Amino acid sequence: MEEEVKNEANVDNMAAEPQKEFTEKPEVKEECSPPKKKIKEKRKKIDKEKDELIKANLDLKEKVLRITAEMQNIKRRSEIDLANAYKYDGFDIIKSILPILDNFERALSIKQVGTEKFLEGFKMIYDNLKNILENKGVTEIVCLHKEFDPSIMNAVMTDTNNDLANNVVLEVLQKGYMYQDKILRPAMVKVNERNITQENNERNDE
């Protein structure tokens, strides 16, 4: 009984006490703005990345231009090679025929009694072969009594003929040929080498 009376008294005291008003306001955390140093670093990083992208873009453009130029050069070279292949078609085969032509000429240069009829057939084959080569664009290099030209002639011998000018071809030992505008075979020639003392005397007489 006493405990019940105490409990009731405690409840009455609590009811009698005035309730405290909650006057404390909740703390509001203010958002802190990032420091200026961090902003500068971030901008610097962005500017650096921007510069790197610009440089990479320029490098890429340069590579594209270089590759495009290389492709055009390859295409141009291919067209030239194709044109040359068509223009000089059969160059090696024609070159291999020249020794046969030389043999025919040697045979025809032999003049013996009783070989006339035999050589007529040779002459016919030789003429046909020569016509075929000429139609393909093969021409003989004219050398005799012309000034020696090392680009189309090979001087294998020298001799002296004071009636002709110095460095003139005296004899063609093996004919040379051109195929279109390309040397098929240079001519083998004998070149005049005049007496220098005599030349000087002739100049003095003049």
Residue 204: predicted pLDDT: 57
Higher pLDDT, residue 194 or 149 = 149
Report if pTM > 0.75.
Answer: no
pLDDT value at position 5? 45
Give pLDDT tens digits for 154-174.
999 999 998 899 999 999 999
Q: Tell me: the pLDDT tens digits for 37-52?
A: 778 778 878 888 888 8
pLDDT of residue 166: 93
Q: What is the mean pLDDT of residues 22-36?
A: 54
Q: Which residue has the tokens 């000018």?
A: 165
Cβ burial of 88 (10 Å; 0-12, 13-18, 19+) is middle
Residue 114: count of CB within 10 angstroms of its CB:
6
* pLDDT score for 45: 81
Q: Residue 142: its pLDDT value, please?
A: 95
Alpha helices in 35-191 (DSSP H): 36-87, 91-109, 116-135
Q: Are 90 and 136 in contact (CB under 8 A)?
A: yes
Mean pLDDT calculated for residue range 113-126: 84
Pairing of β 169-174 and β 177-179: unpaired
Predicted pLDDT of residue 34:
57
Percent of the chain topping pLDDT 70: 78
Q: How far apart are the first and last CA of the chain?
A: 171
Mean pLDDT in residue range 180-196 = 90
Q: Which residue has the higher pLDDT, 68 or 2?
A: 68
Q: How confident is the model at residue 89 (pLDDT cuts 50, 70, 90)?
A: confident
Between the CA of residue 74 and those of 98, 110, 170, 172, what are the distances in Å? 35, 54, 47, 43
